Structure 1
């Protein structure tokens, strides 16, 4: 008896060695099963002629990345990390992003200028649930749930529209998954215009807003709503759209003046950054977008968290769409969803709480400051209060606006001065409401309803 006790002694605070034996057996059994499954999968692939053909095509494409090899590879769907890179930001000289501040690092100076607790809390929130709330499409669980739908959408773009998948490497090393549909070979007028689409926070090019310009037979390239690798913070998103534009110019052969940027929802940030950084771009269309993220973030967080939310947004998630859009001199079209339930600060029934209104007002106030006085803002707000086309027409007709006269005045001002915005023109209410209607179109639906091509217009220009 003494001998058996001495061979299996258990002391307080320690695990008895006899109890480890079953655990090690279980672990060993699991590892053997996993090894067996891996061997069976390897055997099945080795005996599968189609898989062997895919592997040979993939290896050949990696060694010799020719259009012919890529055309063979595009018919296969596999892990994107193994897809050969089609274009890298390092292939061209681009100084645009080099001077941008990087807001993703928690610098020592930040700790000195603000309280340690506030800085640490903001960092943790932004890099945990904050980023996932802002970009739910980056959550792996949602991606897995949508995978069958995404595979069907990708197959449709390739088979029906002859789309080409491309992997682009941004300056931060993130890999961007894009889809390009070339309509230039069809010979149509619209095919010569490239529409770069920027998705929303849970958007994917397989089922997203790319379908809108495709209905109009325009060439389309899709920048997804989030970077394929890494994390989708604002700086990463800016890097992503930058390499997409570089790819369109240097590889696809489009001029900046042939490019229209089309964005839905939170994609307005990358779209406004793109036109701010590349002012030669032909036009920008923002659908269901907002002026600033902060009011929308405050809406969903407790009031007691206001200082923390303000600091977190401004430091790590500063989606300042209006500020960036005002630095663009070209044509702009804003599409407002009159029943939008996402970018309203109170609810879809209160159309005046739609942050698209504020985006329009800030743009008009910057471009036409002499017109957008307190009276001008009041007139435009009255027009914005119309929730349907009948109410909109009623407000517009009440001011007896002469469209032709307004356009002639603007053309005369532009010809005489040829200056950049802001313009010192007009001091009458005619201009207030006339410009509002030219810069913004209403679409009577909710936030996530796909935009039909009939609502996709080329922005107004003189």
Structure 2
């Protein structure tokens, strides 16, 4: 049996850290000293350390060759290097490299076998795989390793949900060329440009930082790590911090965080609501960290779905106790969530935008733009919808350099402006007629709080009057959007109401796109 275990250790997961959480009993794998009360990084023996380094570099070289393979194949084709005579030596070379790598893996397994700490970890892992009882899972919880095994996680696989109406047959035929081009772009460089966090090289570089962030969440905040299985089979890595027993005012409210295109829950926007005492649930996009799959729109929606189902079915939160907080491109999954679950308490979109296409065209070569526009508009603009009836807060970074189409110095090119206008025009179409849009644009063009207040006072906005008007309308007409409030108002009154609504739905934060949001800028959206 010991021999077979040694063979399995060859391909076992990498043990990274032994955690210690507040209030948690000391795990039996604490072999260094019974006096240690904090977690520590796993220390491999010299043989395992060096062989792991060799395997890591091999993985880096494979990634580089994979990404550069289209260019390399074109070069070899032009040089006539595809002949059978020239292919045989190459195949022999590849075979030699694979044999050498297999030998390195065997040496790593031997190094692990000689390390009592790894052997004890692997014994617990194997026992949990065979008998996945709660007691065994408790023994495995303090151990951070990857790839994460199903033995050490909670699994939830909801039924597949309808994502949207299918296109008609004629529409599909007419747009087939665009779909083909979009598919080729999305499955090559497009996905990696849009979601750089899914690139293995970046994740390898960030692994120490992610490990440190995860250790903080588990050891300081008593975070609970779970992996969820979405309806498409992707495994979504999550972290939950429960504040319900702390007696904090926000502990009974759960904030689900949706990260940006290079964000991970370990070092992402979870920290903002944690500062405020909320219960928080973070998750990694498909293909990020220890989540499997690739971050295509359908996979993203499936991941968001299983996270919400987990929050309700396993963590015990009601939809009206859940706030969705999203940063940057995380606004896509947030908008899908509130459209699919309109009973959600609120949504906060930080540095988010309405449409990816203008931002993509900004970085494309000029010769690509004409070809990309028809396909891009069809594929990208359909995902955002303002139909969610609940409270919404938009946070605009006034020095944002990422979601502006003309640079951070031109605040009117910030796509968050378009997001606000679309939202207000859907909810209050009578107020947001031509003059309403004009004054809101004037307010959006204010570069600082003083200029913003000047615009507000110039139109003599009376907040109490605006609240009274909106409350009266709601009393007589209900809450369903769109509202026809403003249709019998004077032009001046509609302007004032438009400015009032704009300031309630959007807050400015004077910083750049990637600056962490302090909790002082995070708050529940305005409600009437």
Aligned to 2:10: none
Show the counterpart of 1:100. 164
| C-alpha distance after superposition, 1:209-238 (max 9, x if no partner) | 011001011110012244422211111101
Question: Quick one: structure 1 residues 275 and 44, their matched pair in 2 at CA, closer, same or farther if it must change by over 3 Å?
Answer: same
Aligned-pair CA distance for 1:414: 1.1
- Could you tell me how far apart the structure 2 residues matched to 1:29 and 1:425 are? 75
Map 1:100-119 → 2, pairs under 5 A: 100=164, 112-114=173-175, 116=177, 118-119=178-179
Task: Tell me how far 1:409 sits from its aligned partner.
Answer: 1.5
SS at match of 1:190: coil
Conserved? CA contact 1:293–1:320, under 8 Å:
no
Match of 2:393, SS? strand
Q: Contact 2:355–2:380 at 8 Å: present in 1 too?
A: no
Distance 2:363 2:94 in 1: 45
Over the aligned positions, Cα root-mean-square deviation in angstroms equals 2.5
**Long gaps (5+) in structure 2:** 1-82
Q: What TM-score does the superposition give when structure 2 sets the normalisation length? A: 0.77
Aligned residue in 2 for 1:193: 253
Q: Which residue of 2 aligns with 1:54?
A: 121
CA shift for structure 1 position 31: 5.7
How far the C-alpha of 1:74 sits from its partner, in A, is 2.8
User: TM-score normalized by structure 1?
Assistant: 0.88
Question: What displacement does 1:44 show?
Answer: 2.3
Following TM superposition, by how much is the alpha carbon of 1:143 offset from its aligned partner in structure 2, in angstroms?
A: 0.8
Q: Number of aligned pairs?
A: 435
CA apart distance, 1:438: 0.4
2:331 maps to: 268
Cα gap change, 1:305 to 1:108, in 2 (>3 Å): farther
User: Could you tell me how far 1:333 is from its partner in structure 2?
Assistant: 0.2
Change (3 A) 1:303 1:409: same
Counterpart Cα distance in 2 of 1:170 and 1:59: 25
Q: Structure 1 pair 376/412, CA: closer, same or farther in 2 (3 Å)?
A: same
| Native 8 Å contact 1:196 1:221 kept in 2 | yes
Aligned-partner Cα distance in 1 for 2:111–2:176: 59
Matched, 1:280 2:343: yes
CA contact (8 A) 1:340 1:446 kept: yes
Q: Deviations over 1:253-284 (max 9, x none)?
A: 00000000000000000001101110110000
Question: 1:364 aligned to 2:427?
Answer: no
Matched, 1:249 2:312: yes
C-alpha distance in 2 between matches for 1:73 and 1:307: 54
Counterpart Cα distance in 1 of 2:381 and 2:296: 9
Q: 1:41 to 1:303 in 2, by over 3 A?
A: closer
- Counterpart contact for 2:236–2:285, Cα < 8 Å: no
Q: Does 1:384 align with 2:384?
A: no
TM-fit CA distance, 1:151: 0.9
Matched, 1:332 2:392: yes
2:257 counterpart SS class? strand
CA contact (8 A) 1:365 1:372 kept: yes
Q: Is the alpha carbon distance of 1:280 and 1:47 closer, same or farther for their aligned partners in structure 2, counting shifts above 3 Å? A: same
What stretches of structure 1 of length at least 5 have no aligned partner? 1-12
Return the match for 2:408 from 340, 348, 368. Answer: 348
- CA distance in 2 between counterparts of 1:155 and 1:443 reads 30
| Structure 1 match to 2:48 | none
Q: SS at 1:88's partner residue?
A: coil
Tell me the residue number matched to 2:523: 457
Structure 1 residue 393 corresponds to structure 2 residue 456: no
